[in-house]
């Protein structure tokens, strides 16, 4: 027998101990760049183990299907996949905890991860360009776990009385976080932001993060 009892209890409204807010720009070179200048390196868990995984898969293909050795090898591959998933999740939890503890309000780009990682090959009518480069980027994007990260950030901020705000990603990469000037010329290189109007210079990801919270 199982008995389940549900109760409702009013809780005092939680107030986040911090009063600061921050913009977070999610990327591939930096996993996250915060508008206060803090950056988090990506772990690329899949990349790290992909050679090992390929080797294990080749070994599997040489074994007799459904034999004892084949089963053993299959289990090894599953363990490797599990390890990759655990590494990624551990990293996401540590990062989302750190940010949600230190900031009361977090702004993040409302990313459509699914759109970004759309098939690189395209369709027969509309074949994709730079297929190899895009497939590589897709792998990197999916390896980051941005969707899961934003989900964690959302509920962890909620626990602590903070708030997550999703900002539509309009020109954040070309807009100056200081004066609001928008121009493709503000991005002389991928990594550098240099405002053509006010001269504000910063790492491009940090500028994009700052743009979100202004």
- Could you tell me if 176 and 186 are in contact, meaning their C-beta atoms sit under 8 angstroms apart? yes
Nearer residue to Zn ion within complex by CB, 54 or 198:
198
Closest separation in Å from C-beta 196 to Zn ion:
8
Closest by Cα among 15, 43, 12, 45 to 30: 43
Nearer residue to Zn ion within complex by CB, 17 or 188:
188
Tokens for 111? 């990313």
Query: Distance between CA atoms of 86 and 92, rounded to whole angstroms?
Result: 10
Closest separation in Å from C-beta 207 to Zn ion:
9
- The yes-or-no answer on residue 41 being catalytic is no
Q: At what angle do helices 45-61 and 68-102 cross, to 10 degrees?
A: 170
Nearer residue to Zn ion within complex by CB, 47 or 203:
203
Closest separation in Å from C-beta 97 to Zn ion:
34
Closest separation in Å from C-beta 84 to Zn ion:
41
Q: Single out the catalytic residue among 8, 101, 109, 148.
A: 109
Strand ranges, E, within the chain: 21-26, 32-34, 39-40, 105-109, 163-167, 192-194, 201-203
- The yes-or-no answer on residue 205 being catalytic is yes
- Could you tell me if 6 and 129 are in contact, meaning their C-beta atoms sit under 8 angstroms apart? no
CA 90 to chain centre: 13
- The yes-or-no answer on residue 109 being catalytic is yes
Nearer residue to Zn ion within complex by CB, 15 or 198:
198
Query: Distance between CA atoms of 141 and 170, rounded to whole angstroms?
Result: 19
Q: Single out the catalytic residue among 143, 154, 202, 205.
A: 205
The site for Zn ion (CB under 5 A) is made up of 176, 178-179, 181, 195, 197-198, 200
Query: Which residues are catalytically annotated?
Result: 25, 109, 205
């Amino acid at each position: 027998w199982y008995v389940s009892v549900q109760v409702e209890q009013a809780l005092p409204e939680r107030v986040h101990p911090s009063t600061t807010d921050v913009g977070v720009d999610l990327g591939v070179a930096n996993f996250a760049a915060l508008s206060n200048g803090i950056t988090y390196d990506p772990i690329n868990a899949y990349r790290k183990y992909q050679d090992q995984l390929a080797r294990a898969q080749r070994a599997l293909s040489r074994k007799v299907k459904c034999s004892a050795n084949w089963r053993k090898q299959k289990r090894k591959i599953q363990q490797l996949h599990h390890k990759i998933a655990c590494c990624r999740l551990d990293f996401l939890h540590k990062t989302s905890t750190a940010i949600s503890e230190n900031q009361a309000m977090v702004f993040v780009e409302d990313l459509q991860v699914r759109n970004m990682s759309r098939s690189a090959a395209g369709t027969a009518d509309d074949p994709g360009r730079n297929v190899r480069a895009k497939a590589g980027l897709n792998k990197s994007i999916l390896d980051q776990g941005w969707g899961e990260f934003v989900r964690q950030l959302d509920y962890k901020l909620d626990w602590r009385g903070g708030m997550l705000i999703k900002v539509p990603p309009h020109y954040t990469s070309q807009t100056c976080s200081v004066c609001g000037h928008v121009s493709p010329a503000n991005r002389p290189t991928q990594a550098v932001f240099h405002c053509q109007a006010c001269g504000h210079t910063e790492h491009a990801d940090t500028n994009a993060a700052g743009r979100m919270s202004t």
